[in-house]
Amino acid sequence: MNKTNPRWEWRSFGRCFGEAEARLAKLTPGGVQESDEIYLLSGAGDNVKVRDALMDIKVLREVNSDGLEQWTPVMKAPFHFRRPSGQGAGIASSSGTSSIPRDVHPR
């Protein structure tokens, strides 16, 4: 993986964002990119994301007083999810819903 610098990020999950939603709606997007991600969650402060057959792992370094999070990427590599033998795997998607990818869904 090429050397990358830590970056500050802010995320919010929900359906209604009040004043922020109205302000954002007034902006013209510079570009729209839609994608599907799978997040593997832990309480340890790691962020593991799978998108476009790549696994991206970031480590949380700092959270400032405004809630901005500073993450350092530590790995990006090809990722192929296979069904565990005889088991299903519940995975949280970026939309906050539980999903099981077709190739790991128990039949």
Q: What is the pLDDT of residues 45-80, one digit of tens each?
A: 678 889 888 999 888 889 999 888 898 888 889 987
User: Is residue 8 within a helix (H) or strand (E), and if so which, with residue range?
Assistant: strand 7-9
% pLDDT > 70, the chain: 71
Interatomic CA distance for residues 55 and 48, integer angstroms:
7
For residue 78, give the 3-state DSSP assignment.
strand
Which residues pair with residue 49 across a beta bridge?
39, 56
| pTM reported for the whole predicted model | 0.53
**Per-residue pLDDT, 81:** 66
Q: What percentage of the chain has pLDDT greater than the value 90? A: 10
Mean pLDDT of 72-93: 68
Q: Output the CA angle 77-55-11, nearest 5 degrees.
A: 135
Nearest to 33 by CA among 101, 94, 97: 94
Domain spans of the chain, in order of start = 1-10+37-81
